[in-house]
């Protein structure tokens, strides 16, 4: 090929390349407008979705707090004064989280697995309330919620006093009465755990409250000595007024003098109706041999098993925020918006508060605690279970946020590619 021909070929090749490089393909005007409209719409909806996710992320406090604990939404607002300065204690919310994390159990924590409400056979809420745990406060809150959610609260009057141990026929009668209640009823009674399954009856939804066992026995000691309690009671039963010495003896004196009512001997049996040192008893049942010995290992194990298998929620006012949140999530039919109702002030004021109860020295409390080892263990077990249920809810929320973030990132990637 000659030099001139080669140059002519290269020029033609360049002309063809330029033609492809600067080609113009005409589009109809309306098609361009439609594409622009679609792009604007996608941008708008993506912005709205991002805004919604940002709001949820703020609520969860993700990335706004320095620690993993805060990332779960567990700020100082969720740690009660009872737990202040004890974050490493496994019985606190923070301590339970750290323990579950260190043992790897946090990865398997799931709110659905900890929810016994779906196991109930009837739509009746049974609150077998433990005395001196703030049960009246919960009853009044449920009465207010019942007006909103359309349910009734029936409180057993128990005119004969608190009789936790029932004979078999009495147990059967109470179970039958509860089973025959209308759907959407709350029944509250000071009575031990009743085994509906053993009696071949459908199970209700079980809830209860617990309290530090030593604080509880001190509270009971002064409660029954309060004039506004014993005076009406004695008049109704035509009994004599109590000995002034009995009324005026302080708890510290009672413990130090070794009086029987303030002596807590392991294995001692239930002596009288007013012997309320056993919180475990209300979760163990009515077997006198297994459940009544004080501070018993067997009663403790039975009570733990019943809580795990039967109770939707066992809360405590010592962890108010967690208790209300767990009740809302695990028993929504009866407790939806419980936190809002509680903090709005529409619930009743604290019931049975005794302003005459004096301060008890720490030395006396420590002395008494040494005899309440298994009662304390049960109380701590219930607290840890409550914390696990609460943490499971927060983790579920966090997982939903993570899923939304993944979807958001995928949508952003798709928008960038397009």
Number of domain units in the chain? 1
Q: Is the pLDDT of residue 11 over 90?
A: no
DSSP states along 98-139: HHHHHTTGGGG--GGGG--GGG-SSSEEEE-PPTTSSHHHHH
Please state the pTM of the whole predicted model.
Answer: 0.73
Distance CA 159, CA 223 (A): 17
Q: Which stretch, 24-28, 174-178, 351-355, has highest mean pLDDT?
A: 174-178
Give the mean model confidence (pLDDT) for residues 300-313. Answer: 97
Between 412 and 130, whose confidence is greater?
130
Distance CA 178, CA 172 (A): 10
pLDDT score for 76: 41
In a domain, 16, yes or no: no
Per cent of the chain over pLDDT 90 is 49
In a domain, 68, yes or no: no
Q: In CATH, what number is assigned to the domain containing residue 368?
A: 3.40.50.300
pLDDT score for 106: 82
pLDDT score for 165: 86
Distance CA 197, CA 120 (A): 11
Give the mean model confidence (pLDDT) for residues 136-160. Answer: 91
Give the mean model confidence (pLDDT) for residues 148-158. Answer: 91
Residues 6 or more apart whose CB falls under 8 angstroms from that of 372 comprise: 213, 214, 264, 295
In a domain, 235, yes or no: yes
Q: Token digits for 411?
A: 């949508």
Residues 6 or more apart whose CB falls under 8 angstroms from that of 341 comprise: 141, 144, 145, 148, 347
pLDDT score for 152: 94
151, 187 Cβ separation under 8 angstroms: no
Residues 6 or more apart whose CB falls under 8 angstroms from that of 294 comprise: 264, 265, 266, 267, 268, 269, 277, 278
Give the mean model confidence (pLDDT) for residues 124-131. Answer: 96
Burial of 7 (0-12, 13-18, 19+ CB in 10 A): exposed
Q: Is the pLDDT of residue 108 over 90?
A: no
Tens of pLDDT along 192-219? 999 999 999 999 999 999 999 999 999 9
In a domain, 192, yes or no: yes
In a domain, 6, yes or no: no
Q: Which residues span the domain enclosing 373?
A: 107-405
Q: Is the pLDDT of residue 350 over 60?
A: no
Angle formed by the axes of helices 373-417 and 29-60, nearest 10°: 160
pLDDT band at 29 (very low <50, low <70, confident <90, very high): low
pLDDT score for 71: 46
Q: Token digits for 203?
A: 């199970």
pLDDT band at 175 (very low <50, low <70, confident <90, very high): very high
Between 400 and 191, whose confidence is greater?
191
pLDDT score for 270: 77
Q: Is the pLDDT of residue 183 over 80?
A: yes
Tens of pLDDT along 325-346? 999 999 999 999 999 999 987 5
Distance CA 85, CA 69 (A): 15
In a domain, 173, yes or no: yes
Distance CA 334, CA 216 (A): 27
Q: Token digits for 287?
A: 């077997």
Average pLDDT, the chain: 79
In a domain, 414, yes or no: no
Q: So which residues are the catalytic ones? A: 190
> What is the spatial order of strands in the sheet that 185-188 belongs to?
152-155, 185-188, 124-127, 205-209, 311-315
In a domain, 383, yes or no: yes
pLDDT score for 63: 34
Element (H or E) spanning 60, and its range? helix 29-60
pLDDT score for 65: 36
């Amino acid at each position: 090929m000659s030099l001139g021909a080669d140059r002519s070929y290269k020029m033609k090749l360049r002309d063809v390349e330029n033609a492809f490089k600067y080609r113009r393909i005409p589009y109809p005007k309306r098609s361009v407008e439609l594409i622009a409209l679609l792009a604007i719409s996608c941008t708008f909806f993506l912005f709205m979705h991002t805004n919604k996710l940002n709001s949820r992320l703020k609520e969860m406090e993700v990335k706004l707090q320095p620690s993993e604990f805060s990332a779960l939404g567990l700020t100082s607002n969720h740690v009660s004064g009872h737990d202040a300065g004890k974050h490493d204690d496994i019985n606190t919310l923070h301590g339970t989280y750290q323990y579950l994390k260190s043992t790897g159990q946090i990865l398997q924590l799931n709110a659905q697995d900890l929810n016994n409400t779906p196991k109930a056979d009837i739509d009746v809420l049974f609150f077998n309330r433990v005395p001196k745990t703030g049960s009246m406060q919960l009853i009044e809150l449920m009465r207010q919620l019942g007006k909103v959610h359309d349910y009734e609260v029936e409180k057993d009057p128990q005119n004969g006093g608190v009789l936790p141990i029932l004979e078999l026929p009495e147990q059967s009668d109470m179970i039958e009465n509860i089973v025959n209640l209308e759907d959407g009823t709350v029944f509250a009674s000071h009575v031990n755990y009743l085994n509906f399954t053993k009696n071949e009856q459908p199970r209700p939804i079980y809830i209860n409250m617990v309290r530090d066992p030593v604080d509880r026995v001190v509270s009971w000691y002064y409660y029954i000595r309060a004039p506004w309690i014993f005076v009406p009671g004695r008049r109704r039963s035509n009994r004599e007024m109590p000995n002034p010495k009995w009324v005026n003896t302080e708890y510290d004196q009672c413990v130090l003098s070794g009086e029987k009512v303030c002596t807590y001997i392991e294995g001692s049996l239930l002596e009288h109706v007013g012997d309320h040192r056993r919180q475990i008893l209300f979760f163990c049942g009515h077997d006198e041999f297994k459940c009544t010995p004080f501070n018993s290992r067997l009663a403790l194990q039975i009570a733990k098993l019943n809580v795990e298998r039967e109770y939707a929620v066992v809360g405590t006012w010592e962890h108010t925020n967690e208790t209300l949140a767990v009740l809302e999530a695990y028993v929504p039919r009866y407790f939806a918006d419980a936190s809002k109702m509680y903090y709005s002030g529409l619930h009743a004021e604290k019931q049975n508060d005794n302003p005459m109860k004096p301060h008890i020295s720490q030395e006396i409390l420590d002395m008494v605690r040494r005899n309440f080892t298994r009662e304390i263990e049960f109380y701590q077990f219930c607290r840890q279970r409550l914390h696990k249920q609460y943490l499971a809810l927060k983790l579920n929320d966090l997982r939903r946020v993570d899923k939304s973030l993944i979807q958001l990132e995928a949508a952003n990637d798709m928008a960038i590619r397009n």
